[in-house]
Structure formats: structure tokens, C-alpha cells
Amino acid sequence: MTALRKLAILLLVIAVGPLVGSAKADPVQETMKSWLAANANQGTIPPGTTITMQNWQQYQQYMPVGMIEFFKGTYFWKMPPDVSMPVGPTVILPLPKDYIAASEKYGSQTQVVHTPDGHMNVANYVAGMPFPNPSDPDKGYKILANVWFPGGPYLAVLSTDSGLASFCTADRFNNSACTRTSVVYRQLAYNWAPGVARTDPQASGAWFSEWLMVEQPEQSRYTADLTLFSQDLSKSEDSFVFVPSLRRSLRLSTSARCAPLFGSDMVHDDQRVGYNGGLSAFNAEYLGTRKILGLTDLTNADGAWPANYDMPLGWSKPSWGPWSLREVDVIDVRRVPSEQAGYCYGSKIMYVDHEFYHQLFEEIYDANMKLWKVVQIGLQPATLVAGEEPAPYGGGIIETYWDLQNDHVSHVFTANADGKTDGLRFDQNVAPEYNNISRYSTPSGLMQIMR
């Protein structure tokens, strides 16, 4: 080999070398790969075990990433020294029979379609769980679709008559405030419940509506928020707000999806199942299936009121009920590349219960893929259909959003001020005045506030 040729090869290696392996590693994917590898060989936790600061490392293979960080004390929000997590048996509760029947009848015809613009969508969906046995290809997206179409009540109400929803916030200086709201959530299409129209005649193209109105504090009373989700899953949600001082409603721009909801750490795109914007606006990668500790039996949720949280973290107290091992499917949910610019989140890791497809834990990363928020969701079973066993969820719910970048926290829950989660009414138990689509599921209904 001539000296000239050697020099040419050397210059080529120097020129090309920096390009080889130059693709920037994805910190979220790297974190999750390490977590999955460390928890590959899982056993079980004997019921009756209590996890504390003294023994938590023995059980960290059953903890999601955010929970491990709290025990490590990495951030301002960290486990209190007296943390106590009793572990009970894993109880598998069935979904409603008619939801299962609809899933079995229509699930085989539901398909994931890929569109030319890089989006995915769900075709031929009728009712029930879209993909009863999600598998490749597109397994992550199928799991996401199952979360999107849950087997819960078709009408859920919190009101001044029974109990309200609460958005309570706190910061590192222990400043706190609570906003209490009435709530009317309604499924307008793809219904599976017997005696309920598959698509309500008044649906007007929507399949789900979320209506919330501030009841306390007085100075914010009557502020209301309405979100409508389109039956066309390629369309973004429509959001409206009623402003009492103007005595009129306003349609929110798409940029408002990242605005705080009632001053909390929850944004509009965190409502209901943890992402809005139309199902086709997101991709989801399946990362693996593992067992984690979940809070799925709020048998005594008196700890829901902030005074009964284990502070300063705001962790659940043993009185709420035991933790249990739950098998979860872990997915990485991101907005499609063409719509990522300007979006509030870069990635949302969702730990989705493998039995009933509701997330139990989340880690949310900002646009730069830096861990931003940790979310824990506690569920209370409920008897949705008379004569059937309680369903895994449909009763009370507690969601906690820890903002790790701003040392802020929000507790969102359905308990009354006395700490009892008995304020939720659903389906046939809803008072007749709230079973009103025109009032609570349409923009014109907002104009009836304060009349």
C-alpha cells in the first residue's frame, strides 16, 4: 500500500469517524432499557409485607422509575422517613360482562391503520375493548387504544349534592390551596352498556365529553371547562371555557392543551386517560411487561384529603388500603414527529395494568427528554352493573402529579372534605338534572351557567 493511499484512507477515517455512532442517545429509552433489564427476573412479595425506608431496596424491582427516585431522595420530593406501604394479595376483578361481550364480538374486526402523513389510527371500532389481546405489529399503539376506550361508566358525576372533585396544590414552602369542582363526564358514542344507545342522537360527532365547573373558592366559582372528543380519532379535541366575569364561553386554541387545569400540575392533555389531541396524534412503543406495586383498592380512602397524606411528599397512608403487585404493560407515548414542535411533553411512560388497561403510574418528560413529572394513580373498585362483581375502577380515584423541576405537587381526587370517597355517582344513580347532554356536553350548555 502506497503512502499516498494510506494517507487517503486515514483522512477518510478521520472524516467519517465522527459520524459513526453520532446519533444522540435517547435518555428516556436508555433509562427504560436499564430499568427493564434490572427487573427482568421478578418473583413476588408475600402479602403482609410492609415496605419502609429501611427495607425498600429489597423490593425496588417492583417499583417504577419515579417511585425508586423518591426512595433514593434524588429530588426535592422524597419519601418521608416514616413511609409505610402495606402489601396485600393481588386481586383480579372482572370488567363488566357487557363490555367483555362487546370486546369479544367486535375486537377481531378492529384494525390499526397507517396513514401517508405518518399517523396511525383505529378503523372499524364499534364498542368494548378495541384490542382484547394486543400483539405485534403496533402492540404499543393497540395498548394505547385500549386505554383510550375504557370499560368504565358511561356517565359519571360529582356534584354539590354528593361530593366534589378536588385539585389541591402545594409547593416546597408548604404553601397550599384547593379548588373544588363539580364534574360531568359522559360517553356519547361507542357505548357498550345495555339500554344505552351505541351513539347518542345528540352526540353531534363527539364520542366523549368532560365538563368541570369550579364551586370553591367563591372568587373562581362558575369557571367551567368543557372538552369534547371527536368520533373522528384524527381530529384534536375541542376545548371551551366559561368565564364568569365575561358571562360568556370562549373556544380555546390548540396551544391551550398545555395550559394548567384549574391551577394544578395537570394540563388539559392529562385529562381522563393521560393524553388528548386525538388518538392518531400519538405513537406508542411497547417496552415490556413487568410487575409493579399498584394502589388499586382504595377501600378506605380517608387519606385522600390533604391533611391525611403522608407529608411532605403527599404519599398514601396505610389507611387508604394495601398496595398489590400488578402486571403492567409499559409503553412510551409520544406525539407524532410532525406535531412535536411546541408540544408540552417529549415522552410519557405509561405503566398500564395488563388486566383492565388503566395506567397506574406515569413518568412525564419535557421536550428535552428531561424527567419533569411523576404521576401515581390510585383506583377504587365499583359495582357498575347491578348483580355483577365490582369492576376494577369506576369508583373513587386519586391522582398525584409531582413536578420535579419546579418543586410543586398536585393532588387530584374525588373524596369529600370528610375524606370519604362516596361522592361519585354514575349511570342510573346520577340525579336526573345531570343526565342532560344539551347542558353538559355542548358548548351552548355553558351559556346556561349563572342563569
- Residue 272: what pLDDT? 53
H/E segment holding residue 350: strand 347-353
**Per-residue model confidence (pLDDT) at position 41:** 87
**What domain range includes position 405?**
145-448
Residues of the chain with pLDDT under 50: 4-22, 273-276
Q: Per the domain annotation, does 255 fall within a domain?
A: yes
Q: How many structural domains comprise the chain? A: 1
Half-sphere exposure (Cβ direction) of 264: Cα atoms closer than 13 Å: 26
Q: What is the pLDDT of residue 281?
A: 87
> How confident is the model at residue 421, as a pLDDT?
67
For residue 396, what pLDDT is reported? 83
pLDDT of residue 6: 46
Q: Which amino acid would we find at residue 109?
A: Q
Q: Is residue 408 part of a domain?
A: yes
- State the Cα–Cα distance between residues 299 and 318, nearest whole angstrom: 11
List of residues 6+ apart from 194 with CB closer than 8 A: 98
Nearest by Cα to 437 from 170, 155, 166, 160 = 155
In a domain, 40, yes or no: no
Q: Are the C-beta atoms of 392 and 355 separated by less than 8 Å?
A: yes
Instruction: Identify the pLDDT of residue 329.
Output: 98
Closest residue by Cα to residue 169 from 291, 98, 73, 262? 262
Closest CA to 283 of 126, 124, 106, 137: 137
Q: What is the pLDDT of residue 450?
A: 84
Q: What is the CATH number of the domain that holds 422?
A: 2.50.20.10
Task: Report if residue 42 sits inside a domain.
Answer: no
Task: Note whether 304 and 362 are within 8 A (CB).
Answer: no
pLDDT at res. 19: 42
